[in-house]
Chain A
Amino acid sequence: MCNEHESGIERRALLAGGAALFGTLALSSSRARGNLRVLLAPDDETKTGGTQRTLVLLQLSGGNDGLSTVVPFGDDGYQRARKATRIESKEVLRLDEYRGLHPELKRLRKHFGDGRLAIVEGCGYPDPIRSHFQSMEVWHAADARGRDAGTGWIGRLWNSAWKDVAASELVVHLGATAPYSLYAPGRQTVTFQTPASYKWVAPDSGDRAAYEKASGEGEGKPRTGGDAVLARLRGVLSEAQESSTRIRKAASRYKTSVAYPESELAQTLRVVAALSDAHLGSRVVSVELGGFDSHNNQRQQHDTRMRELDAGLGAFLDDLAAQPWGRDVVVMAFSEFGRRVKENGSQGTDHGVAGPMFVAGPAVKGGLYGKHPSLGELDEGDLVHTTDFRSVYGTLIERWFGFDHAKVLGAKYPQLGFLPA
């Protein structure tokens, strides 16, 4: 299992470090330096940067209707406001006399019962934005300025807590384009959709040798805008070459007794499990489930999304419970906003504000956290958030990764109890 890792290092050692060991100038880049550190490291710790803990970010894109996910069936306000999208009291999977999970979330209900699922209710932020893109940016940057903040929250964590860690697969996104949360200047996220297609096809060995050199450091300072972009693209290529073989091997070798359904989310999460199983040192792995923008015909559309979420995340949590490394993985599910309390004219709901977040895994202390937002006291028809989502981020940064959350989030936020202090 370690061999893929070693082979990458050896190759790099030949390309860059080999010369570096003899004291030449090749150490000018952080990439080369990082590899040298790995090369000289006395133990496995440095390779993967200390602990093996992983955070899986599950983004529910489009604005998930929180009231249809954790349903406050015991609230008259809910019964009054929701007609076409209403989930009847007899359908919900009860958590208590006030709230219950969406009827499709059967596996997640079981994990809740087993104490592996924490639900943080009423998450949001002050002065909420109802644009998908702007609001998602706030969540990604953990900053009201969105992209103008300059980095994503994982990016800041990366550049502070793990700035010296050399693992190529430290931050991974499974999908077409990595979310802004992972963005950090000078860092390359490993991004792919399926392991099988994550490769460059070499017609012959000479081609491969030449291609591997195409990610070289180049010479001199960038003079034009194009030079600067080129330098960054070479960095991307370097990461791609480093990770391609390892990722594909990890995925093809992975064995589990858990039967993942055929849905896309489930298959993607299976790859996430494979990465953990291969101990590639991934700290953050991001995945996305889209289709939550339920302006019309919400009930049918949202039921389908819940079914897919339950099948995928449910199987993944089963797998975590069964694997020896499962305790080193937590999942955090979030969406850019909830939806309006009152329905619109087309059996759907428009963009709203607060919603629940899920944190799940064998190491998680399951249960209810935060406070369900009041359906009686609305702000212009919207729920008022009760927990700043940065409390959830902060708890994960502090208690999962052991890092000072204020350094990443710019302020202190109350810690939540879903992880032991």
Chain B
Amino acid sequence: MNLPRLSLVAVVAAAPLAFASSPSGFVAGDGGAMQAATKFVWDARAVEHLYNRAGFGARPAEIEEGVRLGRAALVEKLVTQRAPVPEFKVEPVLPDDPRALRDMSKEERQKVQRDLRIEDRRQMLEYMRWWFERMESGADPLQEKMVLFWHGLLTSSVDEVKRGWLCLQQNQLYRAHALGSYRDLLEAIVEDPAMLVYLDNQVNKKGSPNENLAREIMELFSLGVGNYTEDDIKEGARALTGNGVNLLNGQYEFHARLHDDGEKTILGQKGRWKGRDFVRILLEQPACARHIARRLLLYFEGVEPAPARLASYAAELHKGGFALQPFLTRLFNDDAFYRDEVLGARVLGPVEYMVGSARRLGIEAPPVLLASGATLLGQRLFAPPSVKGWDEGEAWITTASLMQRGNLAGMMLGVVKLADVFSEADLNDEPSMDGPAMGSDSMGDDPAGADDDKPAKKRGARSKDEAPAKLAGPKSGNYVYAALRGFERAGWRPTVDFTGRLRAAGAIDDAQIVDRMLEELLAIHAPADTRQQMLDFLAHERGTMNVADGKLLDAGKDAEKVLRRLAHLILSLPEAQLS
């Protein structure tokens, strides 16, 4: 496996910025939901805002190009143009001959299953690396942003599914429909193996229903609380009976024998409904379009939509058969999307912070660092804290996570040491694969794995009990820690050249340097007091070095060190958490 990627590509962005003002003349006239009298202007700030929300932040050249293209054209590009993607083919992780397992001794069987778990885990880490590279590269930012959205909304956790490869297949499903239609996604989700295992539908049988899937689909995936009754859940669960997984091959399978084909009444509709009918009924509810429209608006704007605006977007989503591209095209062309209330008011999630910081620094950070950093900050991909996904927005920021975000930026910049940020225990709950491997005897009645004999996991927290077992070696949980330590030992230094970049941009004295760095590293405009503090820092450091203002960039290595520390400081600011 080639996870520790040591060839780090230097990205020296030297293009001058056209930040200050670019009156490219695009003044929208559709006013719409915008009450304020201020006219919309398509300028660098608006372009950056669009890139912040529809992606993971803009690089300087993208801002220039966006201003030139104009709003409609840039939106069309982001929404409709898909970048060619190197495929990741998810391989099933199954024993060669599942039936043969039965004839094996206990030890032999355990060895087969252990090897499968290791393989499953290896593939999952590979996939994470691939995903993070895609987010970091920025080739198709909106697509990646939407995959992250669906992963958080229609979520499943590998901690319960146990088979990582089923979770990866689910992710590929979200990838396929990321900008397609929510209708297709909801239809697919009641036949998605990972989801069926995650929400116990394997054991939802005629005569002894299990309500978990029906409830969470209605509450979280489609309608929202208050738009169905407890009876609808019970009847919905009956409709979903029989939707199962063949654990010998990991494929969806309809078990007619387990299906309750009696009449059900769901949301007022009577019939001998199956899973697909259940989904159709949900999609017909006005509450469904409203729920999904709200989630999308909240995700992209970061503030609760006003009722009238939500109603309008929901109606169009419904009318358009839940197609996502028209929805997003309208949103990103809506003046209200660029209003003061929205600008800079969205708190970056951990994945966005890690990826965004790397992009803004212009470095290619090792994906394993981005992934572990996001985990430390509370967002372990493929392992949300609950079926509700992650709490977004300001909930991401705690007294601890705010400081840790800065620490992780410091690691990216090589000014903070691994040991100061992570302990081995911190990384111990990378995807836990302790369940029975696919294809083991525990089929049918025991989908989620019988080995719940380990401590409960708190959201994003580590599990100390598991530490001894996982210290075993590179195949275990500390693989990630070992990989990070490998980077550090090899002298991981981001190949960023602040001195060169600043010189090329004509930023020479303290004020110019600070302004330029704040502009490049923050998604929002820094307030005056923050700017002054950064100036004070620089003046203090120059004083220590005995270098005059305007001469810092001539100080060689020492200058670069100070500039890295300045970048670390900036990315540690509360301002750096906003977009």
Q: Which residues of A contact B (CB under 8 A)?
A: 61, 129-134, 173, 175-178, 188-194, 196-201, 203-204, 206-207, 209-211, 213-216, 218-219, 223-230, 232-234, 236-237, 239-240, 243-244, 262-265, 267, 288-292, 295-297, 300-301, 304-305, 308, 344-348, 350-351, 380
Nearest neighbor of A199 in chain B, beta-carbon distance: B403
9-residue interface stretch from B14-22, B83-91, B186-194, B521-529? B521-529
Do B463 and A201 touch across chains, with their CB atoms under 8 A apart? no
Knowing A218-B527, A300-B452, say if A289 contacts B458 (CB, 8 Å). Answer: yes
Knowing A225-B345, A229-B347, A308-B455, say if A201 contacts B528 (CB, 8 Å). Answer: no
Residues in chain B near residue A226, CB distance under 8 A: 343-345, 524, 578
Residues in chain B near residue A230, CB distance under 8 A: 344, 524, 527, 574-575, 578
Do A297 and B450 touch across chains, with their CB atoms under 8 A apart? yes
- Can you sample 12 A-B contacts with CB below 8 Å? A131-B219, A133-B219, A177-B378, A194-B423, A194-B462, A197-B400, A197-B421, A214-B530, A214-B574, A291-B456, A344-B208, A346-B200
Residues in chain A near residue B577, CB distance under 8 A: 233
> Which residues in chain B, 404-450, are within 8 Å of chain A measured between CB atoms?
404, 406-407, 410, 415-417, 420-423, 425-426, 445-448, 450
Q: Is B205 an interface residue (CB 8 A)?
A: yes
Q: Is B39 an interface residue (CB 8 A)?
A: no
Knowing A176-B459, A198-B403, say if A228 contacts B345 (CB, 8 Å). Answer: yes
Binary A-proximity of B386-399 (CB < 8 A = 1, otherwise 0): 11100100110111
The 3 closest A-B pairs by CB, nearest first: A345-B208, A226-B344, A291-B456
Q: Is B482 an interface residue (CB 8 A)?
A: no
Interface residue from A214, A216, A267, A345 paired with B572 (Cβ < 8 Å): A214
Nearest neighbor of B454 in chain A, beta-carbon distance: A304
Do B400 and A296 touch across chains, with their CB atoms under 8 A apart? no
Bound: A340/B271 CA distance, A: 27
Do B344 and A200 touch across chains, with their CB atoms under 8 A apart? no
Do A204 and B456 touch across chains, with their CB atoms under 8 A apart? no
Give the interface size class of chain B: 35 or more
9-residue interface stretch from B128-136, B318-326, B535-543? B535-543
Q: Which residues of B contact A (CB under 8 A)?
A: 200, 202-205, 207-212, 215, 219, 225, 230, 302-303, 340-345, 347, 376, 378, 385-388, 391, 394-395, 397-404, 406-407, 410, 415-417, 420-423, 425-426, 445-448, 450, 452-465, 467, 524, 527-530, 533-534, 536-537, 540-541, 544, 565, 568-569, 572-575, 577-578
Residues in chain A near residue B447, CB distance under 8 A: 296
Bound: A214/B526 CA distance, A: 11
Bound: A240/B573 CA distance, A: 13
Residues in chain A near residue B401, CB distance under 8 A: 176, 191
Bound: A388/B86 CA distance, A: 58
Do A224 and B345 touch across chains, with their CB atoms under 8 A apart? yes
Interface residue from A200, A210, A301, A344 paired with B452 (Cβ < 8 Å): A301
Knowing A176-B461, A192-B399, A345-B203, say if A350 contacts B211 (CB, 8 Å). Answer: yes
Bound: A199/B419 CA distance, A: 13
Do B454 and A200 touch across chains, with their CB atoms under 8 A apart? no
Do A197 and B536 touch across chains, with their CB atoms under 8 A apart? no
Do A224 and B455 touch across chains, with their CB atoms under 8 A apart? no
Residues in chain A near residue B403, CB distance under 8 A: 198-200, 237, 240, 244
